[in-house]
Amino acid sequence: ADPIRLSDYRKPAWTVATVELDVDLGIDASEIAARLTLHRDPAQASPLRLNGEGLELLSISVDGQPLAPADYRYDGSTLEIGAARDGSVLETRVRVRPAANTALEGLYLSGPRETGFLLTQCEAEGFRHITFFPDRPDVLARFTVTLKADRERFPVLLAGGNPAGAGELPDGRHWARFVDPHPKPSYLFALVAGRLENIERDYVTGDGRKLKLVIWSEANVIDRCHYALDALERSMRWDERTYGRHYDLDVFHVVATHDFNMGAMENKGLNIFNAKYLLADPDSSTDDEYRAVEAVVAHEYFHNWTGNRVTCRDWFQLSLKEGLTVFREQQFSAEMNSPSLKRIEDVSLLRRAQFPEDAGPLAHPVRPQEYREINNFYTATVYEKGSELVRMLAGRLGTSGFRRGMDLYFERHDGQAATIEDFLSALGDANDIDLTTYLAWYAQSGTPRLHAKGLYDAHKREYTLTLSQQTHATAGQPHKQPLPIPVKLSLFGYDGKALPLHLDGHAAETEKVVVVDQATQSFVFRNVASAPVPSLLRGFSAPVVLECDYTPAELALLVTHDIDGFNRWEAGQQLATLAFENLRSTGDTAACSAWCEALSALFHNPAIDDALLADLMTPPGEIEFADRQSEVDPAKIHAQRQALQHRLAQHLGATALLDRYQALAAHTSQALDADSQARRRLKRRVLELLALLDADQAHALAAHQYQNAPGMTDRLAALGVLVRDRAPQAAAALADFRQRYADNPLALDKWFSVQAQIPGEPALATVMALENDASFTLKNPNRARALLGAFASTNPSGFHRVDGQGYRLLAERLAQLDALNPQIAARLATAFNGWQRLEPIRREAARAALKELAQREGLSPNLSEIVANVLQ
């Protein structure tokens, strides 16, 4: 089939004012009766065409008249009806099969058929698997949903909107009705039915609406939902305080499921969460997972305004809701936790996940021009780079200007399906600024490289900074334009003090933003007493790769003297990268020594935060290092990165590391406050470094830490060290973990992942053995990701075997998985991205495995699109 193109967008020829759904629920078969009131755009002549994917049509009528087979045509994906007029009422009845739905899109069963519950996932195009509808986001309709089911089997019946009645039916059945007063696109529809428990809390919005917040889960995990409920309340207050946005229904339902294709879903009034991002307790969740729960709860809640009240005109605009909502979540999490640590985490994610995407055959603009399978475009580019674009806009406008712009955006587009242009116009108009130049960021793929060169003229006391930008060609975009790149900068003197900046007569802050919007631009700073060290792109002010020929001493100065945590970390990353590259190319150790010395000074500096120190002592990951090379040998990169860390460990010394470990280990609290989390983070890093110097001692400490851990963070950190090192104590710890969490699938996922991450040669045999574990199944997305995703996407030295067996294993599993769940198969297949830059032997092996996969019969459109794109 041809791709769908943004340039082909047409307004819908038919819209739907109201939908009444009557759903008769059953595990094997459910019946959906739909009554749509239709409107026709008088300017368009097309007949009524509705989406409907694989539906068993039981009856159909228009304006009360049953249709004869000759009156309509249904080919399994489109229903065409000649007889419909403006104002017509269409009634259909269809049957769907939830228990047989392994794709987890549409209406499906979570859990075993005897005890599991029914739920839906509609974004992006799942609603068409439930009933006939113009399943596109610019058709906004009022939904009334009535659910009917056996009371004993389905005691809880939920749908989006406000509760509007419930009651008994004959034969032990019951019903419940929900009316959503807010018109919404079909992708935000949801229902849930089954045996579920709940916890709830009253909430009064800032504008006086009294409502209930209710979290639902299966009985055995309901005790682990309290943290999410607190996080939800914090998110709601924050959105009121920060953006003046209040919740708008009488109830907010959140449901946890173990069977979910993604993290969570913002269905109006009925969010559905992958249990991984909702459940949290100290015994089975790490500190990182607690923060992830808070972040995802906030993200989905924030969608109520950025996504639901203002939705997207078409799926090309996906970043309008996703980039913006990720940005809002990042602001929230920064306020709830440490801003520097949050920024470090987000920039690391961008570099690990988005930069490689933007550098290879899967590169696409934040607003793609075309797609075949929309589910393949829920990418790091749309989400994370999209968020960076919003951050640049927000930075340009300042806090109050951005708020003014957001207010205008909501005022203009509430209840509408909007575009990126609408967003930029609202932000710009509210501030009398033309932001249209930023549209180029949405249209152009590839990560710009920003080259910086400084020249100091001692005689004139002038410092000239020349910044040039260049973006490499990407698939379909041979020629790139310069983009507006905001560069936040400071100049440091050699005494480590930030200098006042005199630029174009303006004085005299020590930090300033210059915008580079040409290929090359120079900025002249006057009155500079001595040659400065520039600190560029502070706070990561634009999603670019900075290339600046720093000397090791200059970077060390920034690591040592910058007071901003993020910038200090960033300088450390650059210094570690320089150290890494010099060691491998020329063997020159100067940068490595500068890195070790700067970190050693910080290690002994009591003023620095433990968590920041832990991050500072972590060099960029193997994927980030690989991203900078043209002939990648993942085994070598692993070894070289280990060697770099070994030098750091040596420099710090076993005694200092051991002392620090013991001091940190003296705190045994499992509290979640920032200091306790920070200590655990540093303790783990120190133990990992110690393991490079004195394995026996570190393993003994890890075994002890494993046995005595008060919570999952310490337990998993210790297990990780033992397993990755294949320490003699690993087997016992793994057996203990396996048994301890036999009934906790989320914890068991970690047991799979930690073993799939064993570096190098042994990983493959481990993964293959784990596939035979009784609890392994390809049917559960979390489990498949925990084993195969961890292996293929987070363990480069294990996956990229020189014999190609990693590639063949993945290809084989992708084909199997594809038959069950195409979305998950397509997502895991992106692990092949970057194969073109592998060294020749691996490259050929990867190509062969991909080619063989591409040629298999019957691949889903999802998987074929990724495989074809990655191969090109």
How many CA atoms lie within 13 Å of 267's alpha carbon, on the beta-carbon side? 31
**Could you give the dihedral angle defined by the CA atoms of residues 272, 277, 279 and 281, in that order, rounded to the nearest 10 degrees?**
-170
Minimum distance from CB of 712 to ligand B3K (Å)?
Answer: 25
Of 343, 376, 732, which is closest to residue 569 (Cα–Cα)? Answer: 343
Which of Zn ion, ligand B3K, none has residue 375 at its interface (CB below 5 to 8 Å by kind)?
A: ligand B3K
Which of ligand B3K, Zn ion, none has residue 845 at its interface (CB below 5 to 8 Å by kind)?
A: none
Cα–Cα dist 357/234, whole Å: 33
Residue 489's φ and ψ, nearest 5 degrees, are -145, 160
Which of Zn ion, ligand B3K, none has residue 801 at its interface (CB below 5 to 8 Å by kind)?
A: none
Minimum distance from CB of 446 to Zn ion (Å)?
Answer: 24
Residue 254's φ and ψ, nearest 5 degrees, are -130, 135
Binding site for ligand B3K (CB under 6 A): 123-124, 262, 264-266, 299-300, 303, 322, 375, 378
Residue 679's φ and ψ, nearest 5 degrees, are -65, -40
Residue closer to ligand B3K (CB basis): 117 or 378 = 378
Residue closer to ligand B3K (CB basis): 330 or 705 = 330
Cα–Cα dist 114/30, whole Å: 16
Cα–Cα dist 381/733, whole Å: 39
Which of Zn ion, ligand B3K, none has residue 329 at its interface (CB below 5 to 8 Å by kind)?
A: none
Which of Zn ion, ligand B3K, none has residue 60 at its interface (CB below 5 to 8 Å by kind)?
A: none
300 belongs to the catalytic site: yes
Residue closer to Zn ion (CB basis): 325 or 444 = 325
Residue closer to ligand B3K (CB basis): 90 or 279 = 279
Task: List beta partners, residue 66.
Answer: 61
Minimum distance from CB of 261 to Zn ion (Å)?
Answer: 14
Minimum distance from CB of 285 to ligand B3K (Å)?
Answer: 20
Name, in order, each residue with C-beta under 8 angstroms of 787's C-beta and a sequence gap of 6 or more.
Answer: 752, 753, 756, 767, 770, 771, 776
Which of Zn ion, ligand B3K, none has residue 262 at its interface (CB below 5 to 8 Å by kind)?
A: ligand B3K
Cis before 508? omega within 30: yes
Minimum distance from CB of 309 to Zn ion (Å)?
Answer: 14
Tokens representing 862 are: 């999802």
Cis before 359? omega within 30: no
Minimum distance from CB of 383 to ligand B3K (Å)?
Answer: 7
| Alpha carbon distances (Å) from 767 to 332, 592, 725, 770, 835 | 38, 35, 16, 5, 21
Tokens representing 290 are: 């607690």
Give every strand in the sheet of 512-516, ordered side by side: 512-516, 485-492, 533-536
Of 568, 426, 415, which is closest to residue 490 (Cα–Cα)? Answer: 568
Looking at residue 383, what DSSP letter applies?
I
Do the Cβ atoms of 13 and 40 come closer than 8 Å? yes
Which of ligand B3K, Zn ion, none has residue 499 at its interface (CB below 5 to 8 Å by kind)?
A: none
Residue closer to ligand B3K (CB basis): 125 or 287 = 125
Residue closer to Zn ion (CB basis): 122 or 703 = 122
DSSP string, 278-340: T---TTT--HHHHHHHHHHHHHHHHTTTBTTTBEESSGGGHHHHHHHHHHHHHHHHHHHS-HH
Minimum distance from CB of 325 to Zn ion (Å)?
Answer: 5
Residue closer to Zn ion (CB basis): 108 or 302 = 302
Minimum distance from CB of 378 to ligand B3K (Å)?
Answer: 5
Binding site for Zn ion (CB under 5 A): 322, 325
Tokens representing 468 are: 């040039």
Which of Zn ion, ligand B3K, none has residue 450 at its interface (CB below 5 to 8 Å by kind)?
A: none
Residue closer to Zn ion (CB basis): 298 or 623 = 298
* Active-site residue, from 105, 289, 300, 329: 300
Of 36, 162, 147, which is closest to residue 92 (Cα–Cα)? Answer: 36
Which of ligand B3K, Zn ion, none has residue 610 at its interface (CB below 5 to 8 Å by kind)?
A: none
Tokens representing 144 are: 């009334």
Residue 616's φ and ψ, nearest 5 degrees, are -65, -35
| Alpha carbon distances (Å) from 691 to 401, 656, 657, 698, 713 | 50, 13, 10, 5, 18
Which of Zn ion, ligand B3K, none has residue 124 at its interface (CB below 5 to 8 Å by kind)?
A: ligand B3K
Which of Zn ion, ligand B3K, none has residue 378 at its interface (CB below 5 to 8 Å by kind)?
A: ligand B3K
Residue closer to ligand B3K (CB basis): 133 or 550 = 133
Of 267, 53, 293, which is closest to residue 158 (Cα–Cα)? Answer: 267
Residue closer to Zn ion (CB basis): 188 or 825 = 188
Minimum distance from CB of 123 to ligand B3K (Å)?
Answer: 4
Minimum distance from CB of 593 to ligand B3K (Å)?
Answer: 45
Give 476-527 as a 3 state SS string: CECCCCCCCEEEEEEEECCCCCECCCCECCECCCCCEEEEECCCEEEEEECC
Of 405, 472, 438, which is closest to residue 627 (Cα–Cα)? Answer: 472
Minimum distance from CB of 794 to ligand B3K (Å)?
Answer: 21
Residue closer to Zn ion (CB basis): 310 or 559 = 310
For residue 175, give the H/E element and its range: strand 173-184
Point out the residues that are catalytic: 300
